[in-house]
């Protein structure tokens, strides 16, 4: 227990230097990083708008009929929050840790291992914030976001980004190789992508599947983001927000402990 407490106590403001290092690298190829969140919503809108518009004209959500594109658009933002935070702290963090030996170079400075882990966590959340903000602007320009309530997506992206960044670091701490990420992606991330209310209302699921869906954090992220984009608070929004904050704190604390065990041998 004392070792765990020391692990948390060792995290300092110097972790922002790790964040700064990643931001500088990101800035060198910013246009490549901006293209996916810029073009992805447009491709989805074109594909669903032209391909499925006649098959799925509207959906019933919270007792009202919505054009399918207006229902789907917030789901795209929620998925972007998950994907950018999780993949940044799995594949990208593993490459920096194992192949590039970036972590070894950083801890050769006055920074501690805990600062490196915290910096990775913050950077994963930042990637989620940047990507979701770009998508929010694009979808807003297409008339699929209600303003100014849509701005609430920004703090939701921070909370969701911190949660999925922590989850990604937990995965990295346990994965023996980069190929090991295939299993949690197949068993956890991909099911969340499909069954968390991103592309269809979760209340259309059978009872047992609905209960499972509400355990998944992306379901709560999607519900809150959709509420912000539609200017209609979902039922139990306070419970969803509390759930996300609690899970974010839990997985992030676990990530710090497990990643330190992985790095300090």
pLDDT tens-digit readout, 185-240:
999 999 999 999 999 999 999 999 999 999 999 999 999 999 999 999 998 999 99
C-alpha 249: how far from chain center: 14
What pLDDT, on a 0 to 100 scale, did the predictor assign at position 53? 67
Kindly report the pTM of this predicted structure. Answer: 0.94
> Angle 169-171-174 (CA atoms, 0-180°, nearest 5)?
110
- DSSP code per residue over 146-157: -TTGGGGHHHHH
The predicted-structure confidence for 25-65, as pLDDT tens digits, reads as follows 998 887 777 787 778 888 888 887 667 767 777 888 888 89
Percentage of the chain surpassing pLDDT 70? 96
């Amino acid at each position: 227990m004392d070792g765990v407490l020391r692990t948390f106590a060792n995290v300092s403001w110097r972790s922002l230097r790790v964040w700064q290092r990643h931001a500088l690298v990101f800035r060198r190829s910013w246009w490549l990083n901006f293209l996916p969140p810029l073009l992805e919503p447009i491709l989805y809108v074109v594909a669903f708008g032209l391909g499925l518009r006649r098959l799925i004209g509207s959906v019933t959500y919270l007792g009202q009929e919505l054009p399918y594109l207006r229902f789907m658009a917030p789901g795209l933002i929620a998925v972007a929050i998950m994907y950018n935070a999780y993949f940044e702290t799995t594949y990208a963090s593993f490459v920096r840790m194992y192949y590039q030996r970036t972590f070894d170079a950083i801890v050769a400075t006055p920074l501690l291992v805990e600062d490196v882990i915290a910096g990775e966590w913050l950077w994963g959340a930042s990637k989620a914030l940047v990507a979701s903000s770009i998508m929010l602007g694009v979808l807003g320009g297409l008339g699929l976001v209600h303003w100014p309530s849509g701005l609430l997506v920004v703090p939701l992206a921070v909370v969701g980004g911190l949660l999925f960044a922590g989850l990604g670091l937990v995965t990295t701490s346990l994965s023996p190789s980069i190929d090991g990420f295939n299993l949690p992606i197949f068993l956890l991330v991909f099911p969340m992508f499909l069954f968390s209310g991103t592309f269809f209302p979760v209340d259309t699921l059978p009872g047992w599947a609905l209960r499972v869906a509400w355990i998944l954090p992306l379901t709560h992220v999607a519900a809150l983001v959709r509420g912000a984009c539609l200017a209609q608070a979902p039922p139990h929004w306070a419970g969803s927000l509390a759930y996300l904050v609690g899970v974010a704190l839990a997985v992030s604390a676990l990530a710090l402990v497990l990643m330190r065990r992985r790095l300090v041998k």
